[in-house]
Amino acid sequence: MKKIEAIYGTEADYHPITADALTLVTEPPRLNTETHIRAGHKNLLARWWYRRKLWFTDLYVNWAMKTNRTKNDFNLAIYKTLLVATCDYRKYDDALRMVIAGTPKMGTELKAYFNELHQQRKIAYGTFTTNRALMTCLVFERYGKQVHFIDGADGGYTRAAKQFKEQLKTFTA
């Protein structure tokens, strides 16, 4: 973690989600997953209607987040801060798994450091770079118990795990 912080700065600097950058998906093709989960068992018209409703809702919420609007008792400015604070982007078990934000130069420097440690047979690692993150939310209470799981788009943890497993093989060879 010391090397990550030496390259990327503080947690606030490398946190993959920031309140200012939060937006909901509004491209219709990207709404298909939620539409399928919520309305996939319904007829074509019901699915189409759900997807349109979802699209308009996401447009409204994006606008409300940018203008700090409040609807009923729901304050998006407060909620965005809570959402960022409850993001799960670091996992510690037998390995460290994290999604971090930074510049390409930072990524290159960190990969060079990891590669050096790998050449010394001290670590196996896997990385994957993308320009956006995905969030899966588990919300029990609007302003209370919730967690937001973060992964890199386009494969994230899965793609990094492939590299990690390949490197592990070199330790047993």
Range of the domain at 154: 1-17+89-173
Q: Are residues 101 and 168 in the same domain?
A: yes
Residue 167's pLDDT band, with cuts at 50, 70 and 90, is: very high
pTM for the whole structure: 0.77
- Residue 139 CA to residue 9 CA, distance in Å, equals 30
Q: Are 125 and 118 in contact (CB under 8 A)?
A: yes
Q: Are 111 and 123 in contact (CB under 8 A)?
A: no
Domain boundary residue among 85, 109, 133? 85
Q: Are residues 52 and 36 in the same domain?
A: yes
Domain boundary residue among 85, 109, 131? 85
CA 75 to chain centre: 22
pLDDT at 89: 95
* Whether the predicted pLDDT of 139 surpasses 70: yes
Which residues, at least 6 apart from 136, have a Cβ–Cβ distance to it below 8 Å? 148, 149, 151
Residue 173's pLDDT band, with cuts at 50, 70 and 90, is: low
Please write the tens of the pLDDT for every residue from 77-126: 788 889 999 999 999 888 899 999 999 999 999 999 999 999 999 999 99
Q: Are residues 95 and 161 in the same domain?
A: yes
Burial zone of 161 (CB within 10 Å; 0-12 exposed, 13-18 middle, 19+ buried): middle
Q: Are residues 61 and 98 in the same domain?
A: no
Please write the tens of the pLDDT for every residue from 59-79: 888 888 888 777 777 787 788
Please write the tens of the pLDDT for every residue from 26-58: 887 788 888 888 888 999 999 999 999 999 988
- Residue 70 CA to residue 64 CA, distance in Å, equals 8
Residue 8's pLDDT band, with cuts at 50, 70 and 90, is: very high
Q: Are residues 135 and 169 in the same domain?
A: yes
H or E segment and range at residue 146: strand 146-152
- Residue 173 CA to residue 166 CA, distance in Å, equals 11
Domain boundary residue among 85, 104, 119? 85
Q: What is the mean pLDDT of residues 122-131?
A: 95
**Mean pLDDT rounded to a whole number for the chain:** 90
Cα–Cα nearest to 170, from 126, 108, 127, 109: 126
Number of domains in the chain: 2
- Residue 101 CA to residue 155 CA, distance in Å, equals 16
